[in-house]
Structure formats: structure tokens, C-alpha cells
Structure 1
């Protein structure tokens, strides 16, 4: 006999009961904590140059080695986590909020507004995110703000379409008809009944999209369009290390591994969260 819903652990904690979910959650917690406490954990400044110590391999003094300017690679990797994670998470959060508002309004009110939102979302959806991001960064200009705006717009269609589909499915449910018959306003039904029930799939999709956003931010940084020097980012570090792949391979190896492991961890934890929320069964029942 399963425990009552009120006594069950929250879904993020239930996801940790799966072995892969626990490992992925541990890595993500480690990366986030390292980013938050970067000034405390880092023995060096991320922008302090020591040219005499350039190209040092991993050692006791510099655990991950140094780059072409003698800067400690571990320090820049930790501070780079601040840039990459904050830019990606903020951009996805903005995209989720705007996408849910547009998708919910389109599904609820229908008519010409629904058709307009659907056409724009489908048109945006047909282009790769990297192409949209590159066009927007070229218009806005390189930097952290331009990268956040580009990623937000690139993923807006995904959350708009998902929210619209969820609201359209829920509109015909009995509890919505009951709320309407009791005189509930459109705003009350939308914000108290529809959006809360559509929130879980959107949030899980947002978490998985954050992994893609990290790759997109790293790609823009690799092309020199992300955070500008001396602010470190994982993509920018990989870009600098690409010219040193034979002379100092650790300069590109460790940022690349960090990006890869973090993205895989996000996807593994996202899969565990999907299982904990039983989203696949809910979507099959809705279909």
C-alpha cells in the first residue's frame, strides 16, 4: 500500500532514490555549491596572471594546471561555473515564464491570438537553437546579457508549445467545468487550476533544457560571443585551450569534461525526476 500523497517525499528527493539519480544529483549539488562558494574555495584569483607559471601541468600547487597566462585552471573552472550556470539557468527561467504565459493565454483564449502564437512558435521551432542564438547575439552584441537573451528566445517556442498542449488537454476536464459552473473567473481557473496542473511537465522539460542551454552558452563562449575576458566561462576556456591542445591539453580537457559531465548529470537526474513524478503515465492517460 502506497503512502498518502501528503506523506510522500517531494519528487526531487524521490529522484535521488534511483542510483543514477543520486549520482547525478550529487554532482550537480557539488557544481552548484562550488559556484556559490567560489571565492572561499579558490586559492587564487581567476584574473591574476603569473606568466612565469604558464603552461604548468597539474601539480600539488595547481591541481588542474595553469593556462597560457599562468592562471590557475581550477580557480577559473570554479568561477566559470558561476558564469555558465547562472547564464543558462536565468535564460531558461525567463524562457519558461514567458513561454507559459504565451502558451496558456493562447490555449485559453483561442481565436486569432492562438493562431498567431502557434504560427510564430512553429516558425521559431523550425530553426536550430544555435542559429537563432547566433543571429540574436550578432544583433545585440557579445556578452553575458546578449547570451541570456539569445538563449531565452531560442527556447521560448519549446515551452510555449508544451504549455499550450497541456492547457488544451486540461481545459476539457470535469473539474474545470465544475469551477466554471460555480462562477469562477477566467483568471481564477487559469492560475489556480490549469497552470498548477501543467507545471510539472514544463519544469522537468526546463531542467532538461538547461543542459542544452549550458552547451549553447559554451558554444557561444567558444566563438567569443559569450562572457568577455577576463570573466571566465567554460566555453571561453575551451576556446582558449583549442590552440594549446598539443602544448597544454589540460587547458581544454578539463573544461570540456566539466561541461560533458554536468550535461549528462542534468539529463540523468531529469530522467529520474520524470520517473518520480510519473509524467510519462500521466501523458499517456491524457492522450
Structure 2
């Protein structure tokens, strides 16, 4: 049986191998990382239907039970199934981190584009503001903001978004400054195109790839930051599970029931590693490093 051939003379398999997805998933690291991320996202989305136990039902008669057939990852100090809580915790940790980084990327791109395109006073104000946050570690900014606003998922998302805003703004500004000198941009300006048309139709689409990849890599850091805030009790509030909060509650049981803290910690570590490996594979597939070097 022969493989069907497209109009360009290449088979679908050859076309897939040459595509971005093919370059990522046909590499060992990128493929494994991509499959894991797809699996963890599906688990998070399908949590209400696939978890063996409710995440918030306590049963003190089986508190701190080690892993067995009934509870593959054991139970916590309140008799809640650790596996079910990790799956539900994925919903919390992933949704908070992805939403916060997505909003931060969008706002950062808009601010960076405005600063680079208009220049002058607007550039100085935006640059000074982002440089102020850039001079502090993300964890310090997040802790200060959550302490002011109060603990909870919304405040955690807001704090993470502000903490990572500077890097997306600075990266977008640098990309737009490089693109402004291109001939097609000068021609568009000469034809009398509006500022919004130039920014949103020509500049931002061409500056988007490095910023999006930076956002993907920052998502791994955001997961760690969300887990850190949850560990300090500033993230998701009980009984809503998050990986950081589960690790925090497990510290008191670390010698009696170490699985309570080990398994959520492994979930954080493996997810962050997978995101970094997938992001690196995406950088290689899009050849971002050489494009930035040539630019």
C-alpha cells in the first residue's frame, strides 16, 4: 500500500515531518514532553469524571494511609485521596498559571509595542514602570501584591501576571524597535496607514513568536510561583486543592506520611521540566535563536 501524495509531490507523512508539530513531536524530548503536557491537561479538564474519589471528602479512619490498590498514591492527613487531589490540583495550578501568563503576555505586548512605536514620553514612562518591577524578584513582587490584595486564586493570578509583565514588555519593545526600521514598515507609514493598523497588522504579528515562546517557558516558572504562594497559604484556599497547598500540608507529615508531600512535588517538577523541554523543542523547530541572532 502506497502513501498518498499531495499536489506538491510530498506525502502527508513528509509534510508532517517538515511542519512545526512534526519537528517537535518527532524528537524524543519534545515528543515525550508534548505527550505528557497533553495528558496532564486532559486529566485536569476531565478531573470530575476520572478521579476515583471526591477531592474534598474526609475520612479520618483512613488518614495518612500509605499507597495501596484502593489509593494508589495514599491518603493525606484527613483521609482524602492524594491521587484525586493531585488531578484536581492540576486544574488549579495550570489554570492559574496559564491564565496569568496569557494576560501578562497580551498586556506586555501592547505596552511594549506602544513604547517602541511612539517613543518619547510614552516610552520613558512605560520603560521606567517595567524597569521598576524588573529590578525585584518575581516571588517578592507576588508576595507583596498577594499580601496587599489578600489570598485567593484571583489575587494569585493578578500577582503572577504583574510579576512577569516586565519581561514580555521589554522583549516586545526590543522586537518592535528592530522591526520599525524595516522597509515595508516605512512604506506602510508613507502610505498613510493608521497607527493601530501598523501596530496590530504589521508589527505585533512579526514580533509575536519570540514573545509567545518566552510566555510558554515562563508558564513553568509561574507554576512554581503559584506552588510557592500555595505553600505559604496565599494561593488557593481550602478545600480547593493546589499542588503547593498540598505540599504545605504535607510538611507536618513528612516523616510519618512522606507521600503527601512527595507526589505533589513530583507533579510540579515533572510538569515544569516538560514545559521547558517542549519550549526548547519549539525554539528549535521555529529556529528562533538563529532569527534573533541574525536580527
Partner of 1:147: 156
The corresponding residue for 2:111 is 102
Q: Deviation digits for residues 8-45 of structure 1, max 9, x if unmatched?
A: 76534432121100011011111100000001110110
Which residue of structure 2 aligns with residue 118 of structure 1? 127
1:21 maps to which of 18, 26, 30: 30
**Residue 196, structure 1, aligned to residue 196, structure 2:** no
1:138 to 1:13, Cα distance in 2 relative to 1, 3 A? farther
Match of 1:213 in 2: 222
Q: Which of 105-114 and 174-183 deviates more?
A: 174-183
Q: Which moved more, 1:229-238 or 1:172-181?
A: 172-181
User: 2:7 is matched with which residue?
Assistant: none
How large is the RMSD of aligned CA atoms in angstroms? Answer: 1.2
- Matching residue of 2:91: 82
Alignment match, 1:229? 238
Structure-to-structure mapping, 1:272-283, within 5 angstroms: 272-283=281-292
1:137 corresponds to: 146
* Structure 2: distance between partners of 1:33 and 1:250: 24
Calculate the TM-score normalised by the size of structure 2: 0.93
- Following superposition, the deviation at residue 183 of structure 1 comes to 2.5
SS of 2:43's partner is helix
Among 42, 52, 67, the alignment partner of 2:51 is 42
Q: Deviations over 1:58-115 (max 9, x none)?
A: 1100010000010000000000000000000000011011101100000000001101
In structure 2, C-alpha distance between the alignment counterparts of 1:110 and 1:36, rounded to whole Å: 43
1:93 paired residue number: 102
Instruction: Specify which of 244, 247, 253 is matched with residue 253 of structure 2.
Output: 244
> For 2:253, what is the secondary structure of its paired residue?
coil
1:187 to 187, 192, 196: 196
* Aligned partner of residue 243 in structure 1, secondary structure: helix
Partner of 1:68: 77
**Map of 2:175 onto structure 1:** 166
**Aligned counterparts of 1:116 and 1:36: Cα–Cα separation in 2:** 41
Q: Aligned pair 1:266/2:275, yes or no?
A: yes
Q: Kindly indicate whether residue 65 of structure 2 is the aligned counterpart of residue 56 of structure 1.
A: yes
